A and B are shown apart, each in its own frame.
Chain A
């Protein structure tokens, strides 16, 4: 195992890309060298099949690229930036210039933009303590070559969503597919960002993506992160957020596919009165594995968190949910809720769920809960008494379980798109779709 670690460190050490990012890469590399390599004996990874990650890194094998997978969201009017295996694809991107908006890739940034990027790069990640930051996020920094910088100026509201598509082809092996998103919202700014991970590799490919979101005073960001992967994909990703005074985050995470998926969502309340609403869905089947870690750091008073995560696990798949809310001593008057519900469809499916409240302030209201269940038999019976066949009734109920969360998505074309993607996932039969729209 140490051989693999050395190989990875050696690759990162030799990695060259945009020279102005070299100091950041070196900083990240130093953390990589000091960090712990993912292994089962660490709490971070103890339930994860890390051998699948190791295997993908140890024997990077390029595979064919599928052409039939599309990444378009019907009827969505959005600015669109496409990365293929971590590199900007200008031809596939459609970007309009707007006053008050900086939307530029790292590779095309002007000197002024570069200096703004350098100011903010790592600012969210560096807030995280050792427990919430692991070597993969630092490897993203050490291998950084391109990324997207979105900055919205003070008092500017961008209503048109910005869609960032990360396409992974069969050529993406090892850790060089390491895109970074950096979003900085000024005071009273608003934006909607949809990150879409699309995997066109026929075989095992790797993506290691990090997003940093800095949400300024009274600013609002809607952030959707959609990971729809092929089975053999290894997908590691992290979203690190800083919320300032009265800042709002409406976050949504979808984790679908992949036999090794790890998603981290770390939010820091650093100003007063900020709101964090995060919703997440993970659906696994076959021998897929999904690992979701959410950590909300309440460092300041009068902040609000509402987290709702749901998972549906079929076949022999496995999922992990760790949800931690950490309320620091000075974070009085915090309101925080965390709910995690899981539905197991088959005997062989496994879920490890660990909601965790760590409270050091004495005047707060917090609630957390986790459930693991099978399809409710009385609901199933009710549908059957109305003539609906058992199989279709099971599908309707599983779908209903997540549809409650999809209904909260405010971007209508995105909501409709996900409802149809997930309906197909459940039914594998488009005939049933007509009931589910």
Chain B
């Protein structure tokens, strides 16, 4: 589904990704771990096409197409979803109108009709309940005044509504207490399916107790330095990153 070959990228003059390779197939869950500043968040931004992140080499193939040719919104419409580490607050735009605009855009891109307001309300309320968010959050401005945990649950709700082919969760566990972590993990696990892939970017092994990955990769100094099964995460928790080649400098 996703094939990244020898990817290099920079922001301004700073080279962050330096020849990254990664292949993710449908149905798989991959975890990417790594020290601070390794390029974990950058990978998510580059994949989603954030302005300012320049690809200087390599290829990204998503679902058979060259991802780099697409605008950010086209990537989302093609089925890519990025759950943010720090979701943006947008006062004045209600969460409901934001979610509807988003769901409509994705549906239209898939050749489906936009949902009427009543069906959408029903769907949104259902998903709200699934992530344990009060329905008042639908009326509030997007993420406006939400706590850290509420923002993450709002991200998860969007993922449930948009049903992406590939979801990248960027440090979704940061700022969550253990109860919220379980809610989020349950939500993610419910979305696991043979035709969907998930990339979990995290600092800590803890999240991987709840979302058990098929593969674990260590990203350090701009590339994947080690890959393995879920036992790799446990080794990292025990020994840190420094024992790996090209690990923390």
Instruction: Flag whether A426 is at the interface (Cβ < 8 A).
Output: no
Q: Chain B residues with Cβ under 8 A from A436's Cβ?
A: 97
Q: Quick check: A388 and B101 within 8 Å, CB to CB?
A: yes
**Nearest-CB residue, chain B, relative to A384:** B72
Q: Give 15 CB contacts A-B under 8 Å.
A: A379-B88, A383-B102, A384-B49, A385-B82, A386-B102, A387-B73, A387-B105, A388-B102, A388-B105, A389-B105, A390-B73, A396-B93, A397-B93, A399-B92, A403-B92
Interface residues of B in 67-85 (CB under 8 A from A): 71-73, 75-77, 81-82, 84
Given contacts A381-B50, A387-B105, A400-B92, 12 further A-B contacts (CB under 8 A): A382-B84, A382-B88, A385-B48, A385-B75, A385-B84, A386-B76, A386-B162, A388-B101, A390-B73, A396-B97, A396-B101, A435-B97
Measured CA separation A90–B102 after assembly (Å): 49
Instruction: Flag whether A401 is at the interface (Cβ < 8 A).
Output: yes
Q: Chain B residues with Cβ under 8 A from A390's Cβ?
A: 71, 73
Q: A residues touching B (Cβ–Cβ < 8 Å)?
A: 376-379, 381-390, 392-393, 396-397, 399-404, 407, 434-437
Q: Chain B residues with Cβ under 8 A from A396's Cβ?
A: 93, 97-98, 101
Q: Quick check: B93 and A387 within 8 Å, CB to CB?
A: no
Interface residues of B in 30-77 (CB under 8 A from A): 48-51, 71-73, 75-77
The smallest C-beta distance from A389 to any residue of chain B, in angstroms, reads 5
The smallest C-beta distance from A437 to any residue of chain B, in angstroms, reads 8
Measured CA separation A385–B105 after assembly (Å): 11
Q: Chain B residues with Cβ under 8 A from A437's Cβ?
A: 97
Q: Quick check: B106 and A403 within 8 Å, CB to CB?
A: no
The smallest C-beta distance from B215 to any residue of chain A, in angstroms, reads 24
Contacts A386-B102, A396-B93, A435-B101 hold; do A378 and B88 have CB atoms under 8 A apart? yes
Contacts A381-B50, A382-B90, A434-B117 hold; do A387 and B162 have CB atoms under 8 A apart? yes
Measured CA separation A397–B141 after assembly (Å): 11
Q: Quick check: B98 and A386 within 8 Å, CB to CB?
A: yes
Measured CA separation A436–B97 after assembly (Å): 6
Instruction: Flag whether B158 is at the interface (Cβ < 8 A).
Output: yes
Measured CA separation A225–B100 after assembly (Å): 33
The smallest C-beta distance from B105 to any residue of chain A, in angstroms, reads 4
Against A, the Cβ 8 Å flags (1 = close, 0 = not) of B3-37 are: 00000000000000000000000000000000000
Instruction: Flag whether B145 is at the interface (Cβ < 8 A).
Output: no
Measured CA separation A265–B117 after assembly (Å): 40
Q: Quick check: A387 and B91 within 8 Å, CB to CB?
A: no
Q: Chain A residues with Cβ under 8 A from B105's Cβ?
A: 386-389, 392
Q: Which of B75, B82, B92 contacts A401 (CB 8 A)?
A: B92
Q: Quick check: A381 and B51 within 8 Å, CB to CB?
A: yes
Q: Quick check: A382 and B102 within 8 Å, CB to CB?
A: no
Instruction: Flag whether B87 is at the interface (Cβ < 8 A).
Output: yes
Q: Quick check: B91 and A400 within 8 Å, CB to CB?
A: yes
Pairs A-B, 5 closest by C-beta atoms: A400-B92, A400-B93, A387-B76, A386-B102, A384-B72
The smallest C-beta distance from B78 to any residue of chain A, in angstroms, reads 9
Q: Which of A377, A386, A392 contacts B51 (CB 8 A)?
A: A377
Measured CA separation A434–B71 after assembly (Å): 24
Interface residues of B in 92-117 (CB under 8 A from A): 92-93, 97-98, 100-102, 104-106, 109, 117
**Nearest-CB residue, chain B, relative to A377:** B51
The smallest C-beta distance from A310 to any residue of chain B, in angstroms, reads 10
Q: Chain B residues with Cβ under 8 A from A407's Cβ?
A: 92
Measured CA separation A386–B103 after assembly (Å): 8
Most buried by B among A384, A385, A389, A390: A385
Q: Quick check: B51 and A400 within 8 Å, CB to CB?
A: no
Measured CA separation A357–B88 after assembly (Å): 33
Q: Quick check: A387 and B90 within 8 Å, CB to CB?
A: no
Contacts A386-B102, A392-B101, A435-B100 hold; do A400 and B90 have CB atoms under 8 A apart? yes
Most buried by B among A387, A389, A402: A387
